Amino acid sequence: MVGARLVTPVKVGYTGRTCTLDVPCIRPTRKFVAMLPTDQALRALAAIVGPQNLLSSRAERTVYGYDASVFRGQDLLAVVFPETTQHVARLVTWCQQQHIPYVARGTGTGISGAAIPTHGGVVIAMARMNRILEIDLANRVAVVEPGVINQDLKQALLVHGYSYTYVPDPGSQVVSTIGGNVSTNAGGMHCLKYGITSNHILGLEVVLPNGEIIEVGGKVVDQPGADLTGLLVGAEGTLGIVTKIIVRLLRVPEAVVTQLALFKSVDDAANAVSDIIGAGLLPAALELLDKASMQAVDQAVHVGYPPEAGAALLLECDGLREDMPRSLELIAALCREHEVLSIETAETAEAAARLWLSRRAAFGAMARLASHCYIVDGCVPRTRLPEALRQVTAIGERYGLRIANIAHAGDGNLHPAIPFNKRDPEAMQRVVQAGREILEVCVALGGSITGEHGVGMEKQNDMPLMFSPTDLEVMRRIKLAHDPADLCNPQKIFPLSMYASPTA
């Protein structure tokens, strides 16, 4: 374990940057000093949100120092649950006055450590701001609070019998919040055809770091002026706290068909993906699993993959019913050009759900292989996918790691999963270095260090792989213009070297 860590501070305010209990690295020191004693600070927070919306015991603080990544944050002052935008504004204003860092949090499903409280302070948990405020079918939008679970909005539209849905579907959609999805600009299995979260967010209500409440965007798609909504989506909570979201609704397709194609090799499956898109077809989803992933899934949910299969490709086509037969016939023909072993078409909704289980259970199945799993998130151009996956496999062999590849193959988003034992420091070092090399491969092939999980604290030192010092400085100036004291989710996204100077 490296980095400063405080235990039961007498005063509110923290010195030093906690790194993590799991990933070794060095963090530069940064001081946040407040003058209020802890008990007085807790009374002030309780006065804002109510005592029932305040957690401050050691066990409660510890729980909110984690997310779904391998990182761990610094000891907190408290966790607060605002119920209104005004609560959030008052909390932010108080934190600024007391010079206390704060971070907004959804349900903690993030994988890059974006919502980790790296400087302690206050976690502003948005889970109780979870109302669907409006469903406006005439304008094809809904207005929700950030704590609404992604899947719950879809379910609410279904229960009311509406033929509309909210499309973005990250793998964590049954537990992740729409506010968290906005924070990281989450993707999902259907982003190939329908785009990522930013393509479905029309407007936001945001509390800025000075406590001011602003609205950007709106129900009208074409807004004049700078695209402030686009600036805030994907900012990982570093520019403000989102308190209201206007989302785009799309009609449910008339027909949806799910297929599972099995191939001899990953190369065959990946090349089939490129040919399918190159032929002018645009499936809603094209998900790829390699042999290691298939074996893990089979052990967990007993899909029944044949031993000779080296890769699985899950396809979903949607659109007009009369168009389906021709699309499926063309897809099958293209797959046959790449050593396809079999193609199974789901004839019922139950059969489709069974096929999708083979993909949705993939990351959970990794828990059978080791106590922890490091999930890498990178992106390459679709046509470079076979080469990228070959290099990922070679990196795993070089470091003696078993890497299971899962990918949103249609848009080149890789999610190599690396099971490991975090109690073995040497293994942890190999995992971290392997992950770094995978990102280097992605960038070298013309891709990105993240496809949907964000930068957070995991990849902030990898940003120079993609951006020049000037690029990064321009981005940092935007952050400092909003939050000159760097109290709003401090020291995230940008390389830690940029925070080393006293003025950073």
Decide if 503 is inside a domain. no
Neighbours of 316 (CB within 10 A): 22
> Is 489 domain-assigned?
no
Q: Does 56 map to a domain?
A: yes
Task: Say whether both 154 and 229 belong to one domain.
Answer: yes
Q: If pLDDT is split at 50, 70 and 90, which confidence band does 74 have? A: confident
Look up the domain containing 143 and give its range.
Answer: 132-251
- pLDDT at position 32 is 62
Q: Are residues 351 and 380 in the same domain?
A: no
Do 147 and 241 fall into the same domain? yes
pLDDT one-digit tens code per residue, 358-384: 888 888 888 888 888 999 999 999 999
Give the range among 125-129, 297-301, 317-321, 331-335 with minimum mean pLDDT: 297-301
Say whether both 218 and 144 belong to one domain: yes
Checking if the pLDDT of 271 tops 50, the result is yes
* pLDDT of res. 302: 83
**Same domain membership, residue 258 and residue 247:** no
| The three-state (H, E, C) secondary structure of 251-316, written as one string | ECCCEEEEEEEEECCHHHHHHHHHHHHHCCCCCCEEEEEEHHHHHHHHHHHCCCCCCCCCEEEEEE
pTM (two decimals): 0.89
- Residue 285 host element (H or E): strand 285-290
Tell whether the model's pLDDT for residue 7 goes beyond 70.
no
Of 362, 397, 412, the last residue of a domain is: 362
Asked whether residue 233 falls in the same domain as residue 138, the answer is yes
Kindly give the interhelix angle for 425-444 and 385-398, rounded to the nearest 10 degrees.
160
**pLDDT given at position 34:** 60
Please provide the average confidence, as pLDDT, over all residues in the chain. 89
Say if residues 107 and 212 touch (Cβ distance below 8 Å): no
Q: Residue 55's CB: how many other CB atoms inside 10 A?
A: 16
CATH number of the domain bearing residue 351? 3.30.70.2190
Q: Are residues 331 and 292 in the same domain?
A: yes
Residue 492 lies in a domain: no
Is 485 contained in some domain? no
- Tell me which of 452, 473, 497 is where a domain ends: 452
Q: In this structure, is residue 122 part of a structural domain?
A: yes
Question: Considering the domain boundaries, does residue 461 fall inside one?
Answer: no
Q: Residue 60's domain is classified under what CATH number?
A: 3.30.43.10
Same domain, 245 and 149: yes
Domain count, the chain: 4
Residue that is last in its domain, among 315, 333, 362:
362
Same domain, 385 and 336: no
Q: What is the CATH number of the domain that holds 191?
A: 3.30.465.10
Q: What is the pLDDT of residues 457-502, one digit of tens each?
A: 999 999 999 999 999 999 999 999 999 999 999 999 999 999 865 4
| Mean pLDDT of the region 117-135 | 96
**pLDDT tens-digit map of 403-460:** 999 999 988 999 999 999 888 889 989 999 999 999 999 999 999 999 899 999 999 9
Return the closest-CA partner of residue 384 out of 310, 442, 465.
442
User: Of residues 110 and 33, which shows the higher confidence score?
Assistant: 110
Q: Could you tell me the pLDDT band of residue 352, with boundaries at 50, 70 and 90?
A: very high
CA dist list (Å): 17 to 110, 158, 363, 430: 20, 45, 30, 24
Q: Are 344 and 321 within one domain?
A: yes
Closest by Cα among 340, 334, 289 to 311: 289
Tokens of 191: 């982003």
Same domain, 178 and 246: yes
Answer whether residue 478 is part of any domain: no
Q: Is the confidence at residue 28, as pLDDT, over 80?
A: no
